[in-house]
Amino acid sequence: MSTLSNSLLFSSLPLNEALLKNLATIGYGAMTPIQAATLPVILNKQDVIAQAATGSGKTAAFALGLLGKICSTHRSTQALVVCPTRELAEQVAREIRTLARLIPNIKVATLCGGVPVGPQRASLEHGVHCVVGTPGRLLDHLERGTLDLRNITTFVLDEADRMLHMGFADEIAQLVAALPKTRQSLLFSATFPADIRSLSSSLQENPVLIQIAESPQEKLAISQTFYQTTEAGKPAALQALLAHFQPESTVVFCNTKIKAQELRDELNAQGYRVEALHGDLNQQEREQVLQLFANKSTAVLIATDVAARGLHINDLQAVLNYDMAHDAEVHVHRIGRTGRAGKQGLALSLVSDRDRAKLRALESYLDLPIELSPLPQVVVDATRGALRPRMITLRIEGGKKNKLRPTDILGALTSSKKLAGSQVGKIDIGDFSSLVAIAYDHYETALQLLSSDPIKGRRFKVRVLP
């Protein structure tokens, strides 16, 4: 006899017989936590904001919800799913087709860039019940008059945080403007930052917020370690720790802007890609530094406490105290920037003889004894490891004033299929210039594509930052 609660089974849901029969056929018996939490609300036709990690089963949750509302005898498009990349859109469309295969005459179309428009237009002309696509190509069809969204009853934004991260806020707003006001809007996201809340308020009515917390065993505390060194040995100690732990993103705290800039210059002179954030930067320089760090084009950000106030960085893997903080509360505030949302975090501190008083004060504040550890013995190589960024940023000398959109740049990079959408990171469109992050091993291909091929019929100068 099964020990599963009936409430966790798909058969407990008010789904039509064809969907339930197909779920049993393909082995979908018990629901995942995100499915069990969202499906009853979705089937009740309420708007939903759902936060859950990738791979949690969210696609089946919204797919079953929208399939349960589609009337297959009507040829109109009744469901729209928007995804950030072509790869994800194709994956989502495949799963919807799999779930719908026992429902007669259900048609699903994928509308993404990088493929000819003609076959997509022909598919839409024959009648499509569900459209899955990327923002740029969806808007293209809207402008051509080949996509009619007036009969949409279910609107889904999948990986909404990634779409905003890639700069698609304007495109989403244009798509929403073409939808009927009476509809169900489902927003799925792996994280729940402030811009997701703002997006929800612009497109949803009284949404139900569902957040699936990680299990206790998935929640990892910050690992805090203090290392014995000397003032003169700090630069080498910093490199040794980063080479040993190889975090993908690290904020290194210095107590003065002079030291922060000197350390940045010293490391970059050795071939590293490091940026500094301090009070001597103007607003434009500060914004560029933060963009490079946010889009993974620099793995290490050297900062002072003053410059880092109010700074929110997602998925920060490590904090390294190059200088011990003057105050114990400041130390705690520094290390609290890593290890958020159940992610593993590292807090590493360099301690020289002149830091002994600060160390004792911190022990008293934490009411814990602090032991000093020896530095790891590693071979430091500037061409690999933690200081090599995941991405490289390209600057395009064209922006909003040139009517460039993120989808124009994404299309120019992926239409030839020399680059995949997954190799393109965050796209920031300014008034007169744009930044696009490219996977480190593919930036030369991207540079060649953007330099040799026109974007919207125009050629723009492109260079590598910084």
Q: Over 90: is that where the pLDDT of 271 sits?
A: no
Amino acid identity, position 46:
Q
CA atoms within 13 A on the CB side of 235: 15
6-213 with 217-387: one CATH topology? yes
Listed by start position, the domains of the chain span 6-213, 217-387, 391-464
What is the pLDDT at residue 342?
54
Q: Over 80: is that where the pLDDT of 32 sits?
A: yes
| Average pLDDT score over residue span 190-199 | 81
SS3 113: coil
Q: At 429, list the tokens.
A: 């469109």
- Residue pair 205/47 in contact (Cβ under 8 Å)? The answer is yes
Rounded CA-CA distance 16/290 in Å is 50
Indicate the range of 211-220, 261-270, 440-449 predicted with least confidence. Answer: 211-220
Diameter over CA atoms, the chain = 79
Tens of pLDDT, residues 129-188: 999 999 999 999 999 999 999 999 999 999 888 888 788 899 999 999 999 999 999 999
Q: Over 80: is that where the pLDDT of 92 sits?
A: yes
Indicate the length of the chain as a whole number: 466
**Which residues does residue 302 pair with via DSSP β-bridges, in sequence order?**
252, 276
| Average pLDDT score over residue span 198-202 | 89
Q: Over 50: is that where the pLDDT of 316 sits?
A: yes
The CATH architecture to which 6-213 belongs is: 3-Layer(aba) Sandwich (3.40)
Tens of pLDDT, residues 320-338: 999 999 888 788 878 877 8
DSSP secondary structure string for all residues of 205-235: SSPEEEE-PPPGGG---EEEEEEE--STTHH
Q: At 464, list the tokens.
A: 């590598």
Rounded CA-CA distance 289/268 in Å is 14
Degrees to nearest 5, angle at CA 230 with 228 and 235: 100
| Average pLDDT score over residue span 113-121 | 87
* Percentage above 90 pLDDT, the chain: 53
217 pLDDT band, cuts 50/70/90, is very low
C-alpha to C-alpha distances, 101 to 20, 154, 335, nearest whole angstrom: 11, 19, 51
- Tokens 């720790």 — which residue? 241
Backbone angles phi and psi of 233, in degrees to 5: -90, 0
Exposed / middle / buried, residue 54 (Cβ in 10 Å: 0-12, 13-18, 19+): exposed
Rounded CA-CA distance 360/377 in Å is 27
User: How, if at all, do strands 154-157 and 274-277 pair?
Assistant: unpaired
What is the pLDDT at residue 1?
31
Amino acid identity, position 126:
H
pTM > 0.75: no
SS3 414: helix
Which residues neighbour 184 within 8 Å (Cβ) at sequence distance 6 or greater? Answer: 42, 45, 46, 47, 65, 69, 153, 154, 155
- Residue pair 47/206 in contact (Cβ under 8 Å)? The answer is yes
Rounded CA-CA distance 22/438 in Å is 40
C-beta neighbour count of 301 within 10 angstroms: 26
| Average pLDDT score over residue span 49-56 | 78
SS3 294: helix
* Percentage above 70 pLDDT, the chain: 91
C-alpha to C-alpha distances, 195 to 46, 136, 328, 339, 406, nearest whole angstrom: 21, 20, 32, 21, 18
Backbone angles phi and psi of 295, in degrees to 5: -95, 15
| Average pLDDT score over residue span 257-275 | 91
Q: At 235, list the tokens.
A: 């630069």
- Residue pair 382/143 in contact (Cβ under 8 Å)? The answer is no
Rounded CA-CA distance 314/63 in Å is 29
Taking each helix axis from N to C end, the angle separating 86-99 and 17-25, rounded to the nearest 10 degrees, works out to 110
What is the pLDDT at residue 284?
79
Q: Over 70: is that where the pLDDT of 275 sits?
A: yes
CATH number for region 217-387: 3.40.50.300
- Residue pair 111/137 in contact (Cβ under 8 Å)? The answer is yes
Residue among 87, 92, 96 at smallest CA distance from 115: 87
Which residues neighbour 306 within 8 Å (Cβ) at sequence distance 6 or greater? Answer: 257, 278, 279
| Average pLDDT score over residue span 370-399 | 81
Residue-averaged pLDDT of the chain: 87
- The CATH topology of domain 391-464 is Alpha-Beta Plaits (3.30.70)
What is the pLDDT at residue 218?
40
Amino acid identity, position 75:
R
343 pLDDT band, cuts 50/70/90, is low
What is the pLDDT at residue 382?
53
Indicate the range of 51-55, 111-115, 252-256 predicted with least confidence. Answer: 51-55
